[in-house]
């Protein structure tokens, strides 16, 4: 075990303690030992000066696709976990739609072991609801949880059989874990490849109507109400589903929800030019939907931000729009995009953003994360909320390059990430070099 580390002078943001102040933080044995305005450095401590930077609980992403096993050309658990820490995420929940799917205890154990071996972000497996993700026979959910699954989902596909959804929402209550729902009526989605509206008409592409999502969200909320189970709606994209979730919460239904950074930032206009990097499921929607999901995140109707990080190989995106794969990567742009849209956009303050990216998602998945309380895991992100940077997909740690933010200037960037007190990502040297270069060129000029 390494010695104590004293993180000095950062603006500390901890929603769990409603804390936003310049503080020192002492890490001992991988846990948070003390948080106070001025902590004298213990004799053997490594002192790290973080003045001018923000420090918060590491971000938690309840929705990532790490593609392993079976899709290692797109991403591996290790490359995905390195993308996670580069984006400030210290815990991620890996969806089970791999090949083979995570539908038995051995597969859950495989994901856990690979995650532990990578020693980067903590990787928590989500088990499948149905065997083979086929939507027919329910998995042995109790065994999946005993092996380490933190939730169940058939994400990538909806659980189309309402009876199966009912049984899943009943059975998971024994373990108090949520069912993560990819809410989509595939009959309404049909062969659609983007949002149904003026842009799809202009481009001559088949549309996916808002109703495809709204119908499924309504059904799931009603089944959660019937059973009393814990439902989590993935990637909310429409004004209608936000409204349905608001009403369900008001009735006391146990439902939570997430929104992706791309659904907060982009409309279906991004598809113009047949840009396959803007093709995802659910699709980018209209401006009024974007406004509605932003408002819902501010109000707490949508609880958290999740990336739905979905890496694809170059070849799977460099196709005709109709044939290209659905999905975008998101781990390494989540902070920059969300901070720009929600904080610089004047909708949330930084503490509230950290709440949506760390504390709330940790609560939803029941993870030991999202707080800087005494004794908590020292899972920490240090970021510069003002750093401007160009999104360069060729520099991603992820194997996926499929981002609609390519070439865009983002504001807010991760500087350093710690998991269990250990540095797993560090850009301080690069920043010091950049400053030195600026200094030299100023001197020359
Ligand atoms: Zn999904």
Q: In the annotation, is 394 catalytic?
A: no
Q: Dump pLDDT digits (tens) for 209-255.
A: 999 999 999 999 999 999 999 999 999 999 999 999 999 999 999 99
Please report the sign of the dihedral spanned by the C-alpha atoms of residue 65, residue 69, residue 74, residue 80: positive
Average pLDDT over residues 422-426: 98
Using the predicted structure, report yes or no on whether residue 201 has a pLDDT greater than 50: yes
Using the predicted structure, report yes or no on whether residue 162 has a pLDDT greater than 50: yes
Q: For residue 282, how far is its CA from the centre of ligand 1 (angstroms)?
A: 7
Q: Give ion ligand 1 contacts, CB < 5 A.
A: 155, 182, 234
Q: For residue 263, how far is its CA from the centre of ligand 1 (angstroms)?
A: 13
Q: For residue 181, how far is its CA from the centre of ligand 1 (angstroms)?
A: 7
Predicted pLDDT of residue 445? 46
Using the predicted structure, report yes or no on whether residue 444 has a pLDDT greater than 80: no
Q: DSSP E strands: which ranges in 78-128?
A: 89-94, 122-127
Q: For residue 21, how far is its CA from the centre of ligand 1 (angstroms)?
A: 37
3-state SS, residue 359:
helix
Distance CA 329, CA 243 (A): 27
Where do the H-state alpha helices sit in 119-257? 141-147, 162-171, 186-189, 198-203, 210-227, 239-250
Task: Compute the chain's Rg from CA coordinates.
Answer: 21
Candidates 308, 355, 379, 384; catalytic one: 308
Q: For residue 281, how far is its CA from the centre of ligand 1 (angstroms)?
A: 7
Q: For residue 246, how far is its CA from the centre of ligand 1 (angstroms)?
A: 20
Judge whether 130 and 159 are in contact, CB under 8 Å. Answer: yes
Residues contacting residue 34 through CB under 8 Å, at least 6 positions apart: 24, 25, 26, 374
Q: Dump pLDDT digits (tens) for 365-414.
A: 999 999 999 999 999 999 999 999 999 999 999 999 999 999 999 999 99
Using the predicted structure, report yes or no on whether residue 207 has a pLDDT greater than 90: yes
Task: Quote the mean pLDDT of the chain.
Answer: 96
3-state SS, residue 327:
coil
Using the predicted structure, report yes or no on whether residue 441 has a pLDDT greater than 80: no
Parallel/antiparallel/unpaired status of strands 5-14 and 19-28: antiparallel
Judge whether 12 and 29 are in contact, CB under 8 Å. Answer: no
Using the predicted structure, report yes or no on whether residue 347 has a pLDDT greater than 90: yes
Average pLDDT over residues 299-319: 95
Q: Dump pLDDT digits (tens) for 250-276.
A: 999 999 999 999 999 999 999 999 999
Judge whether 208 and 194 are in contact, CB under 8 Å. Answer: yes
Q: For residue 434, how far is its CA from the centre of ligand 1 (angstroms)?
A: 39
Q: For residue 154, how far is its CA from the centre of ligand 1 (angstroms)?
A: 8
Does the pTM surpass 0.75? The reply is yes
Using the predicted structure, report yes or no on whether residue 154 has a pLDDT greater than 70: yes
Q: For residue 156, how far is its CA from the centre of ligand 1 (angstroms)?
A: 4
% of the chain at pLDDT higher than 70: 98
Average pLDDT over residues 53-75: 97
Number of Cβ atoms within 10 Å of the Cβ of 432: 10
Q: For residue 25, how far is its CA from the centre of ligand 1 (angstroms)?
A: 37
Catalogue all structural domains in the chain, each as residue range(s) with its CATH number: 5-55+378-438 (2.30.40.10), 58-365 (3.20.20.140)
Judge whether 342 and 335 are in contact, CB under 8 Å. Answer: no
Q: Check residue 419 and report its DSSP letter.
A: E
Predicted pLDDT of residue 341? 97
Cα 354 to Cα 329, 335, 351, distances in angstroms: 20, 10, 5
Encoding tokens for residue 386?
Answer: 């003002």
Left if phi > 0, otherwise alpha if psi is -120 to 50, otherwise beta: which for 309? beta
Using the predicted structure, report yes or no on whether residue 59 has a pLDDT greater than 70: yes
Judge whether 55 and 10 are in contact, CB under 8 Å. Answer: yes
Encoding tokens for residue 257?
Answer: 């929800």
Predicted pLDDT of residue 236? 98
Q: Dump pLDDT digits (tens) for 83-130.
A: 999 999 999 999 999 999 999 999 999 999 999 999 999 999 999 999
Predicted pLDDT of residue 432? 84
């Amino acid at each position: 075990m390494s010695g104590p580390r004293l993180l000095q002078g950062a603006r500390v943001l901890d929603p769990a303690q409603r804390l936003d102040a310049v503080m020192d933080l002492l890490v001992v044995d991988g846990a948070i030992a003390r948080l106070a305005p001025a902590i004298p450095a213990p004799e053997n401590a490594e002192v790290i000066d973080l003045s001018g930077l923000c420090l918060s609980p590491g971000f938690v992403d309840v929705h990532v696709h790490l593609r392993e096993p079976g899709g290692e050309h797109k991403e591996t658990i290790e490359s995905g976990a390195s993308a996670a820490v580069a984006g400030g995420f210290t815990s991620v929940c890996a969806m089970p739609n791999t090949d083979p799917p995570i539908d038995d205890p051995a597969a859950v154990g495989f994901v856990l072991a690979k995650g532990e071996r990578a020693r980067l972000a903590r990787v928590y497996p989500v088990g499948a609801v149905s065997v083979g993700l086929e939507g027919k026979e329910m998995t042995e959910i109790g065994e999946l949880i005993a092996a380490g699954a933190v939730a169940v989902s058939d994400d990538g596909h909806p659980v189309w059989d309402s009876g199966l959804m009912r049984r899943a929402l009943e059975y998971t209550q024994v373990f108090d874990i949520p069912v993560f729902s990819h809410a989509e009526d595939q009959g309404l989605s049909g062969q659609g490849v983007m949002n149904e509206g003026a842009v799809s008409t202009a481009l001559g592409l088949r549309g996916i109507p808002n109703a495809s999502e709204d119908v499924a969200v309504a059904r799931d909320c009603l089944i959660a109400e019937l059973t009393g189970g814990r439902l989590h709606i993935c990637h909310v994209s429409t004004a209608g589903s936000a409204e349905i979730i608001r009403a369900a919460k008001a009735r006391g239904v146990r439902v939570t929800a997430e929104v992706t950074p791309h659904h907060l930032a982009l409309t279906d206009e991004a598809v113009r030019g047949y840009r396959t990097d803007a093709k995802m499921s659910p699709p980018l929607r209209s401006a009024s939907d974007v406004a509605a999901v932003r408002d819902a995140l501010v109000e707490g109707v949508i609880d958290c931000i999740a990336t739905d990080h979905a890496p694809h190989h170059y070849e799977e995106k460099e196709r005709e729009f109709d044939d290209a794969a659905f999905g975008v990567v998101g781990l390494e742009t989540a902070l920059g995009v969300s901070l720009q849209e929600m904080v610089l956009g004047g909708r949330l303050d930084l503490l509230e953003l950290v709440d949506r990216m760390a504390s709330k998602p940790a609560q939803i998945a029941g993870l030991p994360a999202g707080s800087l309380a005494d004794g908590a895991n020292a899972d920490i992100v240090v970021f510069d909320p003002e750093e401007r940077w160009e999104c360069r997909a060729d520099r991603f740690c992820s194997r996926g390059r499929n981002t609609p933010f390519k070439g865009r200037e983002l504001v807010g960037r991760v500087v350093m990430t710690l998991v269990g007190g250990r540095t797993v990502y560090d850009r301080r040297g690069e920043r010091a070099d950049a400053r030195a270069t600026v200094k030299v060129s100023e001197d020359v000029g």
